Amino acid sequence: MNSTKKQNTPINSNIEHWEKQANLVSWYKSPKTILSTNDSGWTDWFFDGELNTSYLALDYHVEQGRGEQIALMYDSPVTQTKQTFTYFELTELVAKFADVLQKQQVVKGDRVLIYMPMIPQAAIAMLACARIGAVHSVVFGGFAAKELAVRIDDARPKVIVSASFGIEIEKIIPYKPLLDNAIELANHQPSSCIVYQREQLSAKMNSNRDHNWQILMDMAKPIAPVSLKSSDPLYILYTSGTTGKPKGVVRDNGGHAVAMLYSMKNIYGMQAGDTFWAASDVGWVVGHSYIVYAPLMAGCSTILYEGKPIRTPDAGAFWRVCEEYKVNALFSAPSAFRAIAKEDPNGALMNDYDLSHLQRLYLAGERLDPATYHWLKDKTQRPVIDHWWQTETGWAIASTPFTDENCNKLIPTKAGSAGFPVPGFNVEILDEYGKALPANQQGTVAIKLPMPPGCLTTIYQDEQRFKSSYLSTHPGYYVTGDGGYIDDAGYLFIMGRTDDVINVAGHRLSTGEMEETLSSHSAVAECAVIGIHCALKGQVPFGLVVIKNGVNESDQILISSLKNKVREDIGAIASLKDLIIVERLPKTRSGKILRKTLRQMIDGQDVDIPSTIEDSQVLTELSPKLT
């Protein structure tokens, strides 16, 4: 996975900045070369440094006297289970599972596929891989067998780690039959599978291939972390929504460690001993970066939550967790808070909990519409910080930063904006010819090379796809695939994917802007606007709206009011072809609305149902209204 390195260093004003940040990492061998390029022309950070990510997240803190501090808190309202692990306890478990992997002949560079629910063993497996230099690839628990098989064939893991089941609110999903089917479908065959047997359901084991997690752990002895090169891969993570051959983002060890430590302090304002909660899943990049790696590297207590923002048991679930674990910063997707606002429009359940420790809320994963921003800010009376990043970058491209290194004061946030580009990300807005656009003009959001530490190093086993996907459109730039603009004050606004810009009779319109208008209506919980085919105008906007609980107006009155609002706020050209009120919108498990799928359904095209869909039943419910 690594190319031969050339020690020619590009001119970059950020070199001194990142050298300073690298000094905060406890390296086995401190890097002398801060920035270099490899044969593919891509950036290598800290090339000659050596370190171990598992050591930085665990052993280092034990050595610093934080062994008895809580490292990981597991809270599962769906199984009524809670556990805490000190840094000492978590280090011991990770070191023992690293021994388990070694005894399965896993060595540095081997891939280990992790197919698990939100349980502590998932984080333990990730950290154990990092401890011995194995490259983990976490696949979201419950993925269909066919999609899992595709990822098995791409990553070619020596070992697969799984669990007997996962759970979605009240529905148990047995994982082992899915895994067995995936292995049958795959061309590549793992040498062994390690299965964690959960109490509520035991999986049937294959005697020739499968091993019981606990039995192996009972025989294991803790082993020390190995020294790895900065450029050695830490993990492969497949981007959501992938169809056909998956796109595996590769993350390195050294740049990742520097970026994680920098972001915890300078974006999230966290110090050792604080409690950080990323309400996501380890299957997503947020779970990799901010459930497992960054909080532990920073000496914080992190929360692994097996539940939902609503119905586990109600819309006060997040606030209960914040009170119980004295959460200092909460990070989740806007869709989570839109779901809470729909169930509890007045935020009444929030008043049942002591949120005195909660300092800030962070949102990412999709655009934070101003209506949700204002609702959350008003109800919590806390800073609400939208920030924007991608699986490929691994951490925030833009955020509202702190004004000093002591994290005492936030620069004011602005509704609808993801904040300012983070140091190291040179963000520009480009037209279709690659020319930089002036303030307030929408275009393609691109990042001038080189990218900062922590970003992807390649696409696994497909360097050509890496270049064609991100680097070929505008040479010298990483093209994000998102559209937006930067205002006069330097705030960045992300308006959605570039393919969500529609052309209505020659007028280019942002569906994100229309969604913002619909969301500002007091009755709207969440919405989606998509461009559908029109023989006369090329495309026309079509809206789907979910209404908050407790709204008494009729659907007919609401639809008329919402259509008029879009016409008045944006203009007649943006007039909605149609608007329908629905019970819920189809989403990925990370909360992104499946706009492409909706567009295919309405236009009568073959529908590509993404493997990452949260509940395919939603499409069945919508079909009569859309076709």
* Lowest pLDDT segment from 152-166, 229-243, 289-303, 434-448: 229-243
Does residue 206 lie in a domain region?
no
Does residue 512 lie in a domain region?
yes
From CA 22, how far away is CA 255, in angstroms rounded? Answer: 9
Other residues' Cβ atoms within 10 Å of the Cβ of residue 317: 22
Cα–Cα distances (Å) from 275 to 80, 351, 410, 444, in that order, read: 21, 21, 19, 37
From CA 405, how far away is CA 523, in angstroms rounded? Answer: 41
From CA 462, how far away is CA 130, in angstroms rounded? Answer: 23
Reported pTM: 0.85
Q: pLDDT for 378-433, tens place per residue? A: 999 999 999 999 999 999 999 998 776 666 677 899 999 999 999 999 999 999 89
Q: pLDDT for 334-363, tens place per residue? A: 889 989 999 999 999 999 999 999 999 999
**What is the mean pLDDT of the segment spanning 264-290?**
96
Q: Residue 571 in contact with residue 499, Cβ under 8 Å?
A: no
Cα–Cα distances (Å) from 468 to 76, 389, 427, 473, in that order, read: 42, 20, 20, 8
From CA 43, how far away is CA 258, in angstroms rounded? Answer: 15
**Residue 352, exposed/middle/buried by CB under 10 A (0-12, 13-18, 19+)?**
exposed
Does residue 329 lie in a domain region?
no
Does residue 325 lie in a domain region?
no
Does residue 155 lie in a domain region?
no
**Residue 506, exposed/middle/buried by CB under 10 A (0-12, 13-18, 19+)?**
exposed
Does 240 have pLDDT greater than 80? Answer: no
**Residue 204, exposed/middle/buried by CB under 10 A (0-12, 13-18, 19+)?**
exposed
CATH number at residue 616: 3.30.300.30
Per-residue pLDDT, 4: 34
Q: Going by DSSP bridges, is the β-strand pair 501-504/228-229 parallel, antiparallel, or unpaired?
A: unpaired
**What is the mean pLDDT of the segment spanning 465-485?**
92
Does 490 have pLDDT greater than 70? Answer: yes
Kindly state the percentage of the chain with pLDDT values over 90.
72
Phi, psi of 155 (to 5 degrees): -80, -25
Q: pLDDT for 587-623, tens place per residue? A: 877 677 888 888 888 888 888 777 777 788 888 888 8
Per-residue pLDDT, 187: 97
Angle at 216 between CA 212 and CA 219, to 5 degrees: 150
Kindly state the percentage of the chain with pLDDT values over 70.
93
Q: Which residues contact 578 (CB under 8 A, 6 or more apart)?
A: 542, 543
Does residue 12 lie in a domain region?
no
Does residue 436 lie in a domain region?
no
Per-residue pLDDT, 587: 85
Query: Which amino acid is residue 247, in one-letter code?
Result: K
Per-residue pLDDT, 505: 52
Q: Which residues contact 486 (CB under 8 A, 6 or more apart)?
A: 427, 429, 439, 440, 492, 493
Per-residue pLDDT, 2: 38
Q: Which domain covers residue 558, as residue numbers?
A: 505-626
Q: Please, which residues bridge with residue 305 across strands?
A: 75
Q: Residue 234 in contact with residue 292, Cβ under 8 Å?
A: no
**Residue 433, exposed/middle/buried by CB under 10 A (0-12, 13-18, 19+)?**
exposed
Does residue 271 lie in a domain region?
no
Specify the number of domains making up the chain.
1
